[in-house]
Structure 1
C-alpha cells in the first residue's frame, strides 16, 4: 500500500510498466475536469472511473481486495476515510474472478484521510475499504484507477 500526495506519485514509476502508464496519464491530464464515467488509458492494462459516491458510516468489518488489479484512489472533491486491512483475514464470500473482487474481514485495520491531493495505491491481495464517512461530508467525487499487475 502506498499513501502519498499526488505530486509525489512519479517517484513510484518503475514498479510496473502498466503503473507507469497510469502515473504518466495523471501527470499529463487533469482528471478533475472529467464527468462521471469510465475512461481508457491502455485498454485493460490501465483504465479509470470517475465516481460520485455516497460515503458509508457503518462499522462493518468488510474489506475488498483484487487478484489482478492495483487500485489507485484519488479524491477530486470532498474527503473520505479509507481503511487498510491487515493481519488474519477471513473470506466472507467466494472471490468473483470475472469482476476481480473478493471480500474479507481483517483482524486489524489502519485508517487514512483521503483528501484533495492525496492518493492511495492498493496492490493485488491488499484488503481495503474505501468510501468511508469522514466528519461532516456525505459524498465525494473521486477517481479510481485500475492497473493490471501481471
Structure 2
C-alpha cells in the first residue's frame, strides 16, 4: 500500500505508469464536480468510481480486498478512516469473482485518515475497511480509481 497526497508529485513520480495515469487524470479534471458513478479512463484497464456516503462506526463496516484491480482511493471532500491489514493476517472468506470482492474478517494492524487530496493505493494483498468516521460522522466524496493488475 502507498499513502500520500496528490500534491506531493516528486514523492510518487517513480511509481507505476498506470497509477500515474490516475493522478494525471485527477489533476486534469475537477473530480469533485463529477457525477457519482463509473467513468472510463482506459477501457476496463483503468476507470474511476466517484462515490459519496456518510462515514459511520467501525462496527457497521466490513473488510475487503480485490484480486483483479488495484484500488486508488483519492479523497475529494471530507475525511474518513481506513483500517488496513494484509490479507494473510485475516481470515479470508469466499472470493466473489464477478464483483472482484474478497471478504475478510479480523482486526486492523494500522489505519490512515484520508483528508482532501490524500490518497491510498491498495494492492491485492492489502485488505481495507473504508468509510469509518474520524471524529464524527460526515458526508464525504471520494474517487476510487480501479487499475487492472498486469
Task: Indicate conservation of the 8 Å contact 1:13/1:19, yes or no.
Answer: no
Q: How many residues get paired? A: 149
Q: Which residue of 1 aligns with 2:47?
A: 47
- The CA RMSD measured in Å over matched residues stands at 2.0
Name the SS for the 2:7 alignment partner.
helix
Q: Which residue of 2 aligns with 1:30?
A: 30
Q: Which residue of 1 aligns with 2:89?
A: 88
TM superposition score normalised by structure 2: 0.87
- Following superposition, which runs of at least 4 residues in structure 1 exceed 6 angstroms of deviation? none
Task: Indicate conservation of the 8 Å contact 2:61/2:131, yes or no.
Answer: no
Task: Indicate conservation of the 8 Å contact 1:63/1:85, yes or no.
Answer: no
TM superposition score normalised by structure 1: 0.87
The 1-side partners of 2:131 and 2:33 are apart by 21
Map 1:39-118 to 2 at 5 A. 39-59=39-59, 62-86=62-86, 88-91=89-92, 93-118=93-118
Q: Which residue of 2 aligns with 1:146?
A: 146
The 2-side partners of 1:48 and 1:66 are apart by 15
Name structure 1 gaps, 5 residues minimum: none
The 1-side partners of 2:107 and 2:58 are apart by 17
Name structure 2 gaps, 5 residues minimum: none
In structure 2, the CA distance between the partners of 1:135 and 1:17, relative to structure 1 (3 Å rule), is same
More strand by share: 1
